[in-house]
Amino acid sequence: MTGETATYKCELGNDYFEAVEATEVKGGDLRATVEVRKVQDTYVLNFNVSGDVVVSCDICLGNMSLPVETTGKVMVRLGDTYAEDEDSVTIPEDDGVLDAAWLIYEMAVLTIPTRHVHEDGGCDPAMLGKLEELSVGLGESDSAIDPRWSELEKIKSTFKE
């Protein structure tokens, strides 16, 4: 069996993201290809994941789609207990099964930028209006300072003198 290769392809939609209990991703449409090759007592899994994921915009909280394209490699060995490190996984020999769903999710999420923001003009105008309405002190002059802060400024100037 050494040297044999098997290739698995799957389409992952909103049901997949719900099943893995995705916290950052609300949904999406991914295509994953996993090539499994056995080399002696190790299985080498090469992943290729591409498609789009749906996340919340950091400004307006509306849904937005982001492209995902990534590849990864994981070494899998059989052992006594489950163990995982950066690029290898040991699964119990009694089980002999690796659920790659979480590995695919992690690979996809790691390609998403830290900041999710719509293109200019893409944010929800109603939400932007509400955000501006509720923002305190942005763009206001010193004359509109809350009176409590004025009292604190007096105390501060006393210490300077």
Question: DSSP characters for 2-28?
Answer: TT-EEEEEEEE-HHHHHHTT-SS--EE
pTM exceeding the 0.75 threshold for the entire prediction: no
Residue whose structure tokens are 């004359």: 143
Nearest partner of 55 among 12, 26, 35, 34, judged by Cα: 26
Give the integer Cα–Cα distance in Å for 6 and 82: 23
Nearest to 104 by CA among 54, 66, 70, 63: 70
pLDDT in tens, 102-144: 999 999 999 999 998 988 888 888 888 888 888 765 555 555 6
**Range of weakest confidence among 3-17, 52-66, 131-145, 147-161:** 131-145
Residues in the chain: 161
